[in-house]
Amino acid sequence: MHEDDLDWLLAPLPSGRHGLPREQVVRSQRLRLLAAAVSVAGEEGYAAMTVTTVIGRANVSRKTFYEQFADREHCFVAAYEALVGRALAGIRDAYGIDAPWHERLRAALDWTLRALAGHPHEARVAFVEVLAAGPRALALRDGSLRELTALFQPGFDAAPAGAAIPRSTPTAIAGAFAELVALRVREGATEDLPELLPDLLFCALAPFLGPVEAAELARAGDAAGVRG
């Protein structure tokens, strides 16, 4: 589905006899429910994301909600999964440039921080509210962090020969990133997330390249205005 279609599908359906195919109606309703879940949880928190608030925001019936989802947790999990899927695709695209590892990493981190800064509700859902949404949501979160570790694996090859770097280092970096982002979001400073880029890049490079080289690369890219 093209992104241009997404905005159209999220719009309210025509009232009365609109003649749209049933499949299109169901897809539109589902997308609106997912968007409403993100909007409510992102504004007011998961605890406030009741079925009543979601269907009110989505402008659909309770019957329609339960045709799509078993309960509010199921709805939140589906919304989170959709958000993370789109985010990981964007990260992979940004990381896929033809450049040295540290520049690819910078591009991916820059894209991520800017995307989150521009979508504060999504950022809160992905980094804060997911922690309150139950075991299925937490399992998805753990899986997304595991996918992020692929960004840091090339560090083992970039490290000096003979360096004894724990194999768990990429997992530790991904977890630290998630907590640093979550802290800014909880503080209400989501729009300031791009400012974290030099710090996050240093944290990712230092375990592999050492603090001196990591600091030089983080500063050099920042001074040159490098953006992915």
Which residue segments constitute the domains of the chain, with CATH numbers given? 3-69 (no CATH), 83-223 (1.10.357)
Distance CA 93, CA 112 (A): 11
Phi, psi of 167 (to 5 degrees): -70, -20
pLDDT for residue 24: 72
How many angstroms separate the Cα of 171 from the Cα of each of 133, 151, 167, 174, 220? 22, 10, 8, 5, 26
Q: Which residues, other chains included, contact 185 with Cβ-Cβ below 8 Å and sequence gap of 6+?
A: 116, 120, 123, 124, 127, 128, 193
Query: What global pTM score does this model have?
Result: 0.83
pLDDT for residue 21: 58
Distance CA 83, CA 135 (A): 18
Distance CA 195, CA 223 (A): 13
Integer distance in angstroms from the first to the last C-alpha of the chain? Answer: 25
8 A C-beta contact, residue 175 and residue 207: no
Q: What is the pLDDT along the chain (228 residues), one digit of tens a residue?
A: 333 333 433 334 344 444 555 677 678 889 999 999 999 999 999 999 999 999 999 999 999 999 999 999 999 999 999 999 989 999 999 999 999 999 999 999 999 999 999 999 999 999 999 999 999 999 999 999 999 999 999 999 999 988 899 999 999 999 999 999 999 999 999 999 999 999 999 999 999 999 999 999 998 765 444 333
Tokens of 78: 């589906």
